[in-house]
Structure 1
Amino acid sequence: MTHLTQIDAATMARLLGPAAAIDVLADVLRAGLDPEEGPARTSVRVPAGELLLMPAAFGPYAGVKIAGVAPANPAAGLPRITGSYLLLDGANLRPLALLDGAALTELRTPAVSALAVRHLTPTGKPLRLVLFGTGPQAYGHLEAVLAVRQVAEAIVVGRNQIGARALAGYARTLGVLARTGTPDDVAKADLVVCCTTAREPLFDGALVAPGATVVAVGSHEPDAREVDSTLVARSEVYVEARGAALREAGDLLVPTAEGTIEEDHIVAGIADLVTGRRTPTTERPRFFKSVGMAWEDLAVAGALYEAALAAP
């Protein structure tokens, strides 16, 4: 059997930080990867929750992530997201590496968000950040945002106050003024990041200031959403890929079903932002909705594999 390079979560953290992961994603988009061409995610309901199959191929690599979403796990002290990533040689599909799939997701999802933040927020001033969520994705998003922007203040909003205080405390160890807050804090935010398991809107979208940016990553289900129809209707909407968003993004599909917006309300994809084909043009709120796509896992997994080979 071919020897597989094993890359666990601790190794991953050592090999590739948030800033490098963001650049990896930007590089593959500039190299011509088209997110619209990515295959649809396969989702299978199982007794413990959901199994996801996410294949992709580009450049020198192919690969597939098998991820599990087990809603009951946190109550048992286990991670909600599980899984593995198998990286293959793109030319012959020979297995090259096996990576911790949950850790890969925790690295690539914030990197995608931060790449959007880099293009949707102003560069001239430190941002006031409101962060919804207290789990691994919330920590990852804090670190990724700090890789692309200065943060004047981070306000953590969570159902679990102990968790919210812990994340605010962690932000302070990174040199950020931080506290816990409430959903109404979005009114004074420059950037709102939602990474929760919520199925209903987290805040009143009318409160978000013109020119502010909102990022939502918590759901890839058509009937679940973190933001309301009011915000979506007010906003310039950006996505990873139109096809994926119109299949899976409840934040957009629910207001479309209500008749609040049309499908053409989506302004552009992230590739348009990265390549300069599109720039934000108004003082309306900017809303970036991410559902997570296989090309993102592939790009970051390939970079991790190359870093592992180069490591002493």
Structure 2
Amino acid sequence: MTGGLAQLPLTLGPAEAVAALERVLLGGLDVEGCPARVGVAVPAGELLLMPAAAGGFAGVKVAGVAPGNPAVGLPRITGSYLLLDGPTLQPLALLDGAALTALRTPAVTALAVRALAAPDARELVVFGAGPQAVGHLAALRAVLPALERATVVARRPGPAAEVAAYAAGLGLAAAVGGPEAVAGADVVVCCTTARTPLFDGRLVPDRAVVAAVGSHEPDAREVDARLVARADLFVEAREVALREAGDLLLAGAGAERMANLAELVTGRAAVRHDRPRFFKSVGMAWQDLAVAAAQYASAGR
């Protein structure tokens, strides 16, 4: 207990988190009308405040992004999540904010990729070797039944090999590779702290879906303008993408080219397989709330 408030452990698996997000969207959530994230610069990095209300609950995540933490053996992402009763705003539970982020971000990607990928998608390329890379492997393994192989691309060989070993433990043929691996990919996921493109967008096959989750800043990107120009574009919400999605803003992409996640999940957005599909995620507060509420219900609260 923390001050009389239940500290709720996060025990949901990736498939359960995907299902929680899908339920909220099928329930009619207006993703374009959700509250904006508030970011505050602090000496250690950035504090993020993410409030939301939906489905009988409300909640807020206070997250810290501390770029210097990994150098001293601490996680880059910190934070806590406060879950509230919707009608009364009485506090119900506290959750680990970093663990919640590590679960819900891959679940959002998995929900989108499940709708965008070819049914026989077998080849996955993951950029990054941190918690998000691990989480995305587990989440995509849960929603892509034909997935057979994962290639991990990262700056440091040691962490890349560890993530590849994790992929092997999930039953995938796994290897460490370079950026050119995207040429043979069915699915590419970018979960890095890069501020400039990770690969040549011309290499991505028309059959592939690419997801980028590493940045929520308008001046940072993981994919180049060549890919954005070729691809059909999907985002969590157009309003959010136009504020925070550097991958799209730096490529000059406008809202008229973007379909949002609610449109994708409800079938209102067309999905073509004769060109790449690009999904850009920056993270939204309703996603944390959906997963936190599902965890609360799962715990029998």
TM over 0.5: yes
- Residue 142 of structure 1, aligned match among 137, 145, 148: 137
| More off after superposition, 40-49 vs 278-287 | 278-287
Query: Structure 1 residue 308: deviation in Å?
Result: 1.8
The answer on 1:183 being equivalent to 2:179 is yes
**1:192-251 deviation line (CA, Å, top 9, x unaligned):** 000000000000000000121000000000000000000001000000000000000000
Query: Structure 1 residue 309: deviation in Å?
Result: 2.6
Q: State the distance in 2 between where 1:169 and 1:151 align.
A: 16
Query: Structure 1 residue 70: deviation in Å?
Result: 0.1
Listed as ranges, the matches of 1:16-165 within 5 Å are 16-123=12-119, 125-149=120-144, 150-165=146-161
How many residues get paired? 299
Aligned amino acid, residue 144 of structure 1 = A
RMSD: 1.2
- Residue 263 of structure 1, aligned match among 255, 259, 270: 255
Q: State the distance in 1 between where 2:70 and 2:3 align.
A: 35
Query: Structure 1 residue 279: deviation in Å?
Result: 2.9
Change (3 A) 1:16 1:281: same
Given that residues 126 and 188 in structure 2 are in contact (C-alpha distance below 8 angstroms), is that contact kept between their aligned partners in structure 1?
yes
Given that residues 109 and 292 in structure 1 are in contact (C-alpha distance below 8 angstroms), is that contact kept between their aligned partners in structure 2?
yes
TM score, norm. by length of structure 1: 0.94
Q: State the distance in 1 between where 2:4 and 2:28 align.
A: 31
The answer on 1:279 being equivalent to 2:245 is no
Q: State the distance in 2 between where 1:34 and 1:128 align.
A: 33
Change (3 A) 1:289 1:32: same
**1:39-96 deviation line (CA, Å, top 9, x unaligned):** 1110000000000000000111000000000000000000000000000000010000
Task: Return 5+ residue gaps in structure 1 as ranges.
Answer: none
Aligned amino acid, residue 146 of structure 1 = R
- Secondary structure at 2:300 match in 1: helix
Given that residues 121 and 187 in structure 2 are in contact (C-alpha distance below 8 angstroms), is that contact kept between their aligned partners in structure 1?
no
Aligned amino acid, residue 67 of structure 2 = P
- Secondary structure at 2:288 match in 1: helix
Q: State the distance in 1 between where 2:299 and 2:73 align.
A: 30
Aligned amino acid, residue 45 of structure 2 = G
The answer on 1:294 being equivalent to 2:289 is no
Q: State the distance in 2 between where 1:174 and 1:282 align.
A: 27
Given that residues 41 and 54 in structure 1 are in contact (C-alpha distance below 8 angstroms), is that contact kept between their aligned partners in structure 2?
yes
Q: State the distance in 2 between where 1:42 and 1:246 align.
A: 15
The answer on 1:248 being equivalent to 2:244 is yes
Query: Structure 1 residue 126: deviation in Å?
Result: 4.3
Given that residues 57 and 84 in structure 2 are in contact (C-alpha distance below 8 angstroms), is that contact kept between their aligned partners in structure 1?
yes
Q: State the distance in 1 between where 2:122 and 2:219 align.
A: 31
Q: State the distance in 2 between where 1:140 and 1:156 align.
A: 13
Task: Return 5+ residue gaps in structure 2 as ranges.
Answer: none
Q: State the distance in 2 between where 1:228 and 1:122 align.
A: 23
Q: State the distance in 2 between where 1:143 and 1:59 align.
A: 27
Aligned amino acid, residue 212 of structure 1 = A
1:196 paired residue number: 192
- Secondary structure at 1:309 match in 2: coil
Query: Structure 1 residue 306: deviation in Å?
Result: 1.3
- Secondary structure at 1:54 match in 2: strand
TM score, norm. by length of structure 2: 0.97
**1:127-154 deviation line (CA, Å, top 9, x unaligned):** 2000000000000000000010132210
Given that residues 241 and 248 in structure 2 are in contact (C-alpha distance below 8 angstroms), is that contact kept between their aligned partners in structure 1?
yes
